[in-house]
Amino acid sequence: MAHLFETINSNFFSVLSSPNKKTYIDCIFIIYHAIDTIEDAFQGDREYIISRLIDYFDEVPNDDFLDVDEDEPARTSRQKALHVINVLKKNGWLGEEELGDYKTSLNLFDYSIQIIDVLERIKDNRQSEYTGEIFTVYSLLNSFTVEEGIGVLEQAYMKTNDILRKLKSLKANIYRYYYDITKKQSKHDLQMLLEKLLVEYKQNFFDSAYYNLKTTDSLPRYKRSILDVINHILNDDEIMDQLAIKAQQLKRIEDYNDAFHFVEDRLRFITDSFAALEHLILAIDRKNEQYITAAASKILFFTNQSDDIEGIFNRLFKLVLSKKDFDYTTLFNLTQARNLDTYSLYNQRRSRIEPIPEEINFDDDFITEEYRQEKIKALLKNNIYGKKEINEYVKALLAKDKVIEAAHVPLETQEDFVKLILIFLYSKSIGMHYDVELMGKECKNNFVTFQNFRIKEVRR
C-alpha cells in the first residue's frame, strides 16, 4: 500500500474533496463517456472534450466556480472547461499528448478508468449481478482436459474468486440497507423507506442476486460435482505432473516444484472456497432476515403498531385521547417522588413490608361485556402482524384464485394497508407459501397509491 502513490498522483483525491467536487465529478463523467468508444479507446480530441464541457457549463451555470488554488474565478463556460481540464491534469486524472498537425489529445490513465468505473457504479447505485457464477465454474471444470488444463484452472480460479467477492459485496449491500433502516430513517421518511424496500432493495438484492443464488445457480446443485473434479485432479499424480510441466512452459516458471505448487494452490483455493461458500450464504440469509425484521419493526413503529415500549404507549395514549369521558384515574396514580431535601441524595430507609395479595374487585357497571371484548381485541391485535399470520392471510386471499393483484386486495383500514406492506416484505422469507412480482405500473387502491404487484401462490 505504501507504493500506491508512486503510481497515483499524491493529490489525486483532492479533486473529490474540493469545494467544487460536484462540478468536478460531473465533468469527469462527461470526459469519460466522451472518449469511451472503440475508436477513441479513452483517448479523445482536446477540442471535442472542451466543447462537451462548454455545453455542460452553459446548461448548468455556476457563478461561484472557484478553485481554492486559484485567485480569480472562471467566468465564461470555456474558461471553466479549461480550468477543469488543467485541474484534472495537475492532479493526475488526465494526460495530454501532442499528435502533430496542431492536434492534441487528452488521455485517461488506467487507474483513472478503474476508479471512475467504481464511482459510476456507486452513483447509479448499481450492484454486480449474480447470474450463473457457480454454473460457470462447474462448466469450466467439466470441460477440463490436460492440454487446456492450465487455462481452465486459471479461469475457474478467477471465477471462484469473483464469486467470493460478489457474495461478500452482497452481504455488505444488505448491511447498508439495514443501516439505513435502523440508523438514518425518521418518521418523515416513511415514503422513502417504502420505496427502498419495495423497489430498490428488491431490484438490487432479490432480483439481481439472491433469487439466482437460491434457484438456478444454487450451491448444492453444483458443489459436489465441482469438488469431485478437483479431488480427481489432485489425487492423480500423472495429471498433476503434466499440469506442472505445462505451467512451467506457459507461466515461464523455471523450477518444477514452484510450478507444481502453482497448480496445487489454485486447486486448493477452489476446494476451500466452495467448502466455505455454504457458511457465507448462511450469513447472507441471516442478514436478509435481520433486515426484513428491522424493516417490519420500523414500518409498524411508523404506523403506531409496533410491540415495543413506544408502540404500546402510542396505542395507550390513542385509546385514552379517543374517549373524552374516559376516567384515566382508574388506571394511573401519579405522585411526586423526591429525596429528603433538594440538596441531598439520601433516600430514607423504610422497613420491609411483605406484600399480601388481595383480590381486585371491579364495578360490574364499569366493565361491560362490550368493554371487555374491546380490550381483548386490542391485546390480540399485535398478533396479526407476524410472518405466520401474514402467510395465513395470503392463503385466505388466494383461496379462490392462485394469483391476485395488490390493487384488488381489500384496503378498508390502516391495518389492511400495513398487512399489504408486510405481504410484500415477507414474500422472500423462508417458509412463506407465496411470492410477489412487480408489475411496473402505479395503481390506486382506496386511499393509497403505490406500484402494483402480483401475489401468487408458490408450493415450497
Q: Does the pLDDT value for residue 68 go beyond 70?
A: no
Same domain, 64 and 142: no
Q: Looking at the domain assignment, is residue 400 inside a domain?
A: yes
How much of the chain exceeds pLDDT 70, in percent?
67
pLDDT band at 14 (very low <50, low <70, confident <90, very high): confident
Q: Does the pLDDT value for residue 399 go beyond 60?
A: yes
State the Cα–Cα distance between residues 71 and 111, nearest whole angstrom. 30
Same domain, 45 and 11: yes
Same domain, 66 and 138: no
Same domain, 97 and 174: no
- Mean pLDDT for the stretch of residues 209-220: 73
Buried b (16+ CB within 10 A) or exposed e, 205-222: bbebbbbbbbeebebeeb
Which residues contact residue 397 at a Cβ distance below 8 angstroms, ignoring those fewer than 6 apart?
A: 404, 409, 455
Which residues contact residue 445 at a Cβ distance below 8 angstroms, ignoring those fewer than 6 apart?
A: 406, 407, 408, 409, 411
More confident of the two residues 384 and 424? 424
Strands 43-45 and 403-405, bridge-based pairing: unpaired
pLDDT band at 164 (very low <50, low <70, confident <90, very high): confident
Which residues contact residue 438 at a Cβ distance below 8 angstroms, ignoring those fewer than 6 apart?
A: 198, 199, 202, 451, 452, 453
Q: Looking at the domain assignment, is residue 345 inside a domain?
A: no
Tell me if residue 438 falls in helix, strand or coil.
strand
Same domain, 29 and 93: yes
User: Residue 55's domain is classified under what CATH number?
Assistant: 1.10.10.10
State the Cα–Cα distance between residues 179 and 30, nearest whole angstrom. 32
Output the CA torsion sign for 295, 296, 302, 306. Answer: negative
| pLDDT at residue number 135 | 87
Identity of the highest mean pLDDT range in 26-35, 73-82, 356-365:
26-35
Q: Does the pLDDT value for residue 207 go beyond 60?
A: no
| pLDDT at residue number 350 | 72
Q: Does the pLDDT value for residue 447 go beyond 80?
A: no
Buried b (16+ CB within 10 A) or exposed e, 96-105: eeeeeeeeeb
Mean pLDDT, the chain, rounded, equals 76
More confident of the two residues 142 and 68? 142
Phi, psi of 450, deg, nearest 5:
-155, 170
Among left, alpha and beta (phi > 0; psi -120 to 50; other), residue 403 is: beta
430: its cell numbers: 423462508
Q: Looking at the domain assignment, is residue 350 inside a domain?
A: no
Q: Which of 302, 331, 349 corresponds to the end of one domain?
A: 302
Same domain, 65 and 165: no
Residue type (1 letter), 205: F
Q: Which of 285, 302, 319 corresponds to the end of one domain?
A: 302
Q: Looking at the domain assignment, is residue 313 inside a domain?
A: no
Tell me if residue 439 falls in helix, strand or coil.
strand
Give 297-339 pLDDT, tens digit per residue.
766 666 655 555 555 566 666 655 666 666 656 665 656 655 5
Rounded alpha-carbon distances, angstroms, from residue 128 to 125, 173, 407, 428: 10, 10, 32, 20
Query: Lowest-confidence range among 39-43, 86-90, 96-100?
Result: 39-43
Same domain, 97 and 140: no
Q: Looking at the domain assignment, is residue 155 inside a domain?
A: yes
Phi, psi of 452, deg, nearest 5:
-70, 150
- Mean pLDDT for the stretch of residues 267-278: 88
| pLDDT at residue number 268 | 92
- Mean pLDDT for the stretch of residues 157-176: 80
369: its cell numbers: 361485556
Residue type (1 letter), 24: Y
Q: Looking at the domain assignment, is residue 341 inside a domain?
A: no
Give the range of the structural domain holding residue 56, as residue numbers without chain letter.
4-123
Same domain, 221 and 279: yes
- Mean pLDDT for the stretch of residues 412-432: 79
- Mean pLDDT for the stretch of residues 231-254: 90
Q: Looking at the domain assignment, is residue 422 inside a domain?
A: yes
| pLDDT at residue number 206 | 61
pLDDT band at 200 (very low <50, low <70, confident <90, very high): low
CB 394 within 8 A of CB 423: yes
- Mean pLDDT for the stretch of residues 237-261: 90
Phi, psi of 453, deg, nearest 5:
-150, 155
- Residue length of the chain: 460
Same domain, 142 and 242: yes
State the Cα–Cα distance between residues 181 and 178, nearest whole angstrom. 5
Query: 10 Å Cβ neighbour count for 357?
Result: 5
Q: Which of 123, 142, 166 corresponds to the end of one domain?
A: 123
State the Cα–Cα distance between residues 150 and 165, nearest whole angstrom. 23
Percent of the chain as helix, strand, coil, to the nearest 5:
60, 10, 30
More confident of the two residues 198 and 246? 246
Which residues contact residue 422 at a Cβ distance below 8 angstroms, ignoring those fewer than 6 apart?
A: 296, 299, 385, 390
Same domain, 110 and 223: no
User: Residue 397's domain is classified under what CATH number?
Assistant: 3.30.1370.240
pLDDT band at 127 (very low <50, low <70, confident <90, very high): low
Q: Looking at the domain assignment, is residue 128 inside a domain?
A: no
pLDDT band at 440 (very low <50, low <70, confident <90, very high): confident
pLDDT band at 341 (very low <50, low <70, confident <90, very high): low
Same domain, 293 and 393: no
Q: Does the pLDDT value for residue 20 go beyond 80?
A: yes
Same domain, 93 and 164: no
Instruction: Give the chain's domain count.
Output: 3
